[in-house]
């Protein structure tokens, strides 16, 4: 059951010869979610073997160009490929102007519906509720309206210990009751306590995306306990003042967020082009949070399934 994050574009506002602006794909159990769509996004997806037509949902954190300049090309390619399935776009409410322009001037031949979901929340809020996955959005601390995203697997249905099924001759009805979290009371008065007979088959996994943002008080609270965290690190600590001025984070600040949130692993990205060598980012972050890693184009970060069957 795949649960992974592919980093495609890792640069901040100014792309370089070997790095593109923000674009990433999160995968969960066969579903693909595009997060931000900077210039060159669709080319990077093709390079990584990611199907454009399998994208069902697009999340745009904010409307700065380095996070959305690839959207027209992507939507146009979907038209050329004959897409018919609805496409859901979650973005700040002002994006409806951009979307209207695209439809008016570049939407000829469009066979698919674009469902635009404006983001306006001031607190963490659930925006998608699927069978086995929930997606939340929450406001960030940037120069313009910006949102972060949290993807959480739902708690799985309980399993019944196989050795007790046979030992106590459990019926299908009794097994179903136990899986639903209920105790079973048999006709002779015997009580089969749910806690004794069941277990959680695996630990639900989670992933959070925080870009662009300066640190803020409630950030760690909203992503507490996340398994995998992508956090912008536009600058190193030698440019803390610049980071503060432009409402960005340093690698050290990103690492502090990961540490405070109790994250499992931190991925640093959205690097300023002023840094030719990214090792400084990694060292700075690992001095605070050991499980820090650098994003690179096409790299896949997986969260393995931790089974609890015993």
- Rama region for 276: left / alpha / beta (φ>0; ψ in -120 to 50; rest): alpha
At residue 15, the pLDDT reads 80
Per DSSP, helices labelled H in 140-192 are 162-167, 172-179
Q: Which residues, other chains included, contact 262 with Cβ-Cβ below 8 Å and sequence gap of 6+?
A: 224, 225
pLDDT of 262 reads: 98
The pLDDT value given to residue 310: 52
Whether residue 66 lies in the annotated active site: yes
pLDDT at residue 309 in the model: 64
The residues, ordered by sequence, that sit 6+ positions from 245 with a Cβ below 8 Å of its Cβ are none
CA atoms in the 13 A half-sphere facing the CB of 254: 40
Mean pLDDT by 10 residues, the chain (310 residues): 95 85 96 97 96 97 98 98 98 97 96 98 97 97 98 87 80 82 85 82 94 97 98 97 97 98 98 93 98 97 83
Predicted confidence at residue 194, as pLDDT, reads: 84
Catalytically annotated residue among 18, 36, 66, 168: 66
Instruction: Provide the phi-psi class of 164: left if phi over 0, else alpha when psi is between -120 and 50, else beta.
Output: alpha
What element of type H or E holds 253? Answer: helix 251-261
């Amino acid at each position: 059951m795949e649960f992974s994050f592919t980093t495609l574009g890792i640069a901040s506002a100014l792309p370089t010869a070997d790095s593109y602006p923000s674009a990433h794909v999160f995968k969960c159990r066969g579903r693909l979610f595009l997060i931000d769509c900077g210039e060159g996004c669709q080319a990077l997806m093709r390079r990584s073997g990611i199907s454009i037509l399998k994208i069902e949902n697009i999340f745009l954190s904010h409307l700065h160009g380095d996070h959305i300049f690839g959207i027209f090309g992507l939507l146009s390619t979907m038209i050329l490929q004959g897409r018919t399935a609805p496409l859901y776009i979650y973005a700040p409410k002002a994006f409806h102007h951009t979307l209207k322009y695209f439809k008016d001037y570049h939407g000829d031949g469009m066979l698919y519906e674009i469902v635009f979901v404006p983001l306006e929340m001031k607190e963490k809020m659930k925006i998608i509720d699927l069978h086995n996955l929930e997606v939340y959005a929450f406001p960030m601390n940037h120069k313009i309206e910006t949102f972060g995203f949290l993807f959480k697997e739902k708690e799985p249905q309980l399993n019944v210990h196989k050795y007790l099924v046979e030992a106590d001759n459990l019926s299908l009805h009794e097994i179903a009751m136990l899986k639903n979290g209920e105790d079973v009371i048999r006709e002779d008065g015997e009580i089969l306590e749910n806690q004794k007979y069941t277990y959680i088959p695996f630990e639900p996994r989670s992933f959070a995306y925080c870009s662009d943002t300066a640190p803020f008080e409630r950030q760690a609270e909203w992503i507490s306990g996340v398994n995998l965290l992508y956090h912008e690190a536009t600058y190193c600590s030698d440019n803390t003042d610049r980071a503060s001025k432009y409402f960005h984070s340093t690698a050290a600040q990103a690492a502090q967020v990961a540490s405070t949130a109790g994250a499992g692993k931190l991925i640093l990205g959205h690097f300023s082009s002023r840094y030719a060598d990214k090792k400084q980012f990694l060292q700075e972050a690992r001095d605070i949070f050991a499980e820090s890693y650098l994003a690179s184009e096409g790299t896949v970060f997986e969260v393995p399934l931790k089974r609890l069957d015993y």
